Amino acid sequence: MVVARLAVLLLVLAAAWCHGLPTADARGHHLRPGPPGGVYPLATDRGLALDPWGFVARQCTSYAAWYLNARGVPFGLLTRGPAGNGLFTSAGSWDDAALAAGFPVRSTPAVGSIAQWNPGERSPEAPWGAPWGAAREAGGYGHVAVVQDVLPNGSVLVSEYDGEDGTFHERVTRAPRYLYVGLPGDAAAPSARAGRPGAAAAAGPDTGG
């Protein structure tokens, strides 16, 4: 029984992990360190502690889950959406889970949406001729980040945890796709700063989740 429980715990830890985001993007833009995720409550946790939503603390999945819940959108490993339940495990599975739950997945960003990369996936702006380690946006588990602002050229300012160091960052990038969890599918993508994560106006309208 103890062995079985340990095996389940290790499986959950592996599924909830997010790792492999480099500290510089394909164009050499270094990630800009910031404060510990606004009021993200697990900023000082160490090791493989699980957060209240089922993810490993100080990983990208945990930070995004905290952000959504702070915004009033119930979210965790198993999240109910308009079409049913979605199983949100590793970051690389979040697009499929969002679709299963009925949350829109778009190529166009909106403030408050979740930027998502599949395992080993590059940003659309990453040149294929760049060194693999510099161009790669996500490691073997994928990556997610919170869209804080949409810029006029289509790039986004994201806030995120991990970066291979388990800390908070902000950077300007583009993601392959954006998950509209708790946002209307036709949400606008204004060029307006969303504010620090956790602020009341950080994510725009909320339709539940």
**H, E, C per residue of 9-56:** HHHHHHHCCCCCCCCECCCCCECEECCCCCCCCCCCCCCCCECCCCCE
Q: How many domains does the chain have?
A: 1
In a domain, 187, yes or no: no
pLDDT of residue 127: 52
In a domain, 188, yes or no: no
Domain coverage including residue 121: 2-179
What is the identity of the amino acid at 82? Answer: P
Percent of the chain with pLDDT over 90: 43
135's tokens: 């161009």
CATH number at residue 142: 3.90.1720.10
- What is the per-residue pLDDT across 37-64, written as a single tens digit (0 to 9) for each? 457 888 877 777 899 999 998 899 999 9
pLDDT of residue 120: 86
In a domain, 197, yes or no: no
Between residues 5 and 111, the one the model is more confident about: 111
- What is the per-residue pLDDT across 179-201, written as a single tens digit (0 to 9) for each? 999 997 666 544 334 444 433 22
Least trusted range by pLDDT, from 20-29, 52-61, 93-102, 171-180:
20-29
In a domain, 109, yes or no: yes
C-alpha–C-alpha distance, residues 144 and 65, integer Å: 10
pLDDT of residue 41: 84
pLDDT band at 163 (very low <50, low <70, confident <90, very high): low
Whole-structure pTM value: 0.74
In a domain, 189, yes or no: no
In a domain, 199, yes or no: no
In a domain, 185, yes or no: no
C-alpha–C-alpha distance, residues 33 and 185, integer Å: 31
